[in-house]
A = this chain, B = another copy of it.
Amino acid sequence: MTDTLQMLHTAKAACPAAAALSCEEQNAALRAMAAALRRNTAAILAANALDVEAAKEKLGPVMVDRLLLNENRVESMAAGLEALCALPSPLGRVLAKHTRADGLRIEKIAVPLGVVAIIYESRPNVTSDAAALALKSGNVCVLKSGKEAHASAAAIVDALHEGLAACGLPPALINLVQDTTRAAANTLMTADGLVDLLIPRGGGGLIRACVENATVPCIQTGQGICHIFADRSADVQQAVKIITNAKTSRPSVCNAAEVLLVHRDIAPALLPAVREALVEQRIAAGLVPVELRLDAAAAALIEGTPAGEADFDTEFLDHILAVRVVEDVQAAIAHINAHSTHHSEAILTRNTRNAALFTRQVDSAAVYVNASTRFTDGGEFGLGCEMGISTQKLHARGPMGLAELTTYKYVIKGSGHIR
């Protein structure tokens, strides 16, 4: 048995202990874990320095920055654990109740999933965030950090274990896979009966590998080719404001807009204003301008790069926006359903019929009317936290908070009932 498989057996065995914790015990553990993170800041930063040093030789500056920890970032990890204490427990809720005429009582009760495995990449804060969400939802987590962040993750998990120990809780509630190779990832993907949910958090390659190889239940997260459709009746000034926010407020995240579809009747008025805001004004302000990749109809109205077909199927995560002029709302809906990753899409319109058609027919987790796609986030949606953003339809769609990390069971009480 490999070490990873052994770890999964240990994790599975710890599930009853995790499920038995009261909300108060969970919160005490979260607070102790936060204190331990703060206490071990120096050790965590020292481990992180090793990761960063090694990464500088192989990765670009953006990736190195994702990996980098400092005192503020450790403090914000600790504060994140404490913030979870304020949220109600997702466990034990009676989701449905039915008493039959014969007196048999049936209750559908929210319970933990069991072992939740998370495969992620280089952001070290995912280690503590995911561990805390799993704990608060009564689950045992098995974390597989990206190789380049492994020293940081190990130091963070050491601190979390110290916090658990301070509350008399076993380290098996939070597990970090030590093997940083693909073999360990494959073990997680195929550990039927030992992994109750696998969540890949990262780029398309990782998610694709999980979808193709996983035999355990798996939730696809986080890829966002988000669209904004400016309808014929859109308010041009408001549209420019929303498009600018959706594209430029944080281009590297999954809820940023990648594609702008414009109704042909409003294109002559809207596109020059979009170009003014995303290009000229940003250059004047000393900001990175947005590269506009234009279809032929858009290119006839404003300057920009000619768009290739791939530009309408690419998650740029960068200062790039693909722009296409469309015939009407139906054409916009058809384009989105064919090209979207089913994350977040918006219609900008003053026509309530078109708004209703769009929200009904666009097959995505979050569909907006006259608002920026950037709101798709567990915190912004009022869930208090999030484990990721599901782009699939089964079990969880959109931001996954604590409730999405639970399942349910039916508990049926009789007094000798037979069928």
Interface residues of A (CB under 8 A from B): 15-16, 19-20, 98, 100, 104, 106, 113-114, 192, 196-197, 211-212, 215, 217, 219, 235, 238, 241-242, 244-246, 249, 355, 359-361, 363-372, 374-376, 380-382, 392-395, 397-398, 407-419
Contacts and interface: CB of A to CB of B under 8 A. Distances in A.
Given A368-B412, A395-B395, 7 more contacts: A16-B361, A238-B415, A241-B418, A359-B409, A367-B409, A368-B413, A370-B415
A393 B110 CA distance: 11
Q: Which 8 pairs from chain A and chain B are nearest by CB?
A: A371-B414, A245-B418, A393-B407, A371-B417, A395-B395, A98-B382, A374-B419, A238-B416
Nearest to A361: B16
A314 to B, nearest CB: 17
A241 B412 contact: no
Contact of A409 (B20, B245, B397): B397
Contacts of A355: 413
A118 B126 CA distance: 37
A91 to B, nearest CB: 11
B249 A418 contact: yes
A376 B196 CA distance: 22
Contacts of A381: 98, 106, 410
A375 B413 CA distance: 11
B217 A192 contact: no
B393 A217 contact: yes
**How many copies altogether?**
2
A367 B411 contact: yes
Nearest to A416: B238
Given A393-B197, A397-B408, A407-B393, A416 B242 contact: yes
Given A371-B412, A375-B104, A418-B374, A393 B98 contact: no
A211 B192 contact: yes
Contacts of A393: 113-114, 196-197, 217, 407
A207 to B, nearest CB: 12
- The residue among A219, A392, A412 with the most chain B CB atoms within 10 A of its own CB is A412
Contacts of A114: 363, 393
A375 B102 CA distance: 12
A192 B114 CA distance: 27
Nearest to A410: B366
Contacts of A414: 368-372
Given A366-B412, A375-B104, A392 B217 contact: yes
Nearest to A219: B394
Given A382-B106, A393-B217, A419-B375, A370 B197 contact: no
A100 B382 CA distance: 8
Contacts of A19: 360-361
A104 B366 CA distance: 13
Given A217-B392, A393-B196, A418-B245, A413 B371 contact: yes
Contacts of A398: 409-410
A397 to B, nearest CB: 6
A393 to B, nearest CB: 4
- The residue among A16, A104, A410 with the most chain B CB atoms within 10 A of its own CB is A410
A245 to B, nearest CB: 4
A337 to B, nearest CB: 9
A417 B364 CA distance: 19
16 contacts: A211-B215, A217-B393, A238-B416, A241-B418, A242-B417, A249-B419, A359-B409, A366-B409, A367-B409, A368-B413, A370-B417, A371-B418, A375-B417, A375-B419, A376-B410, A380-B419
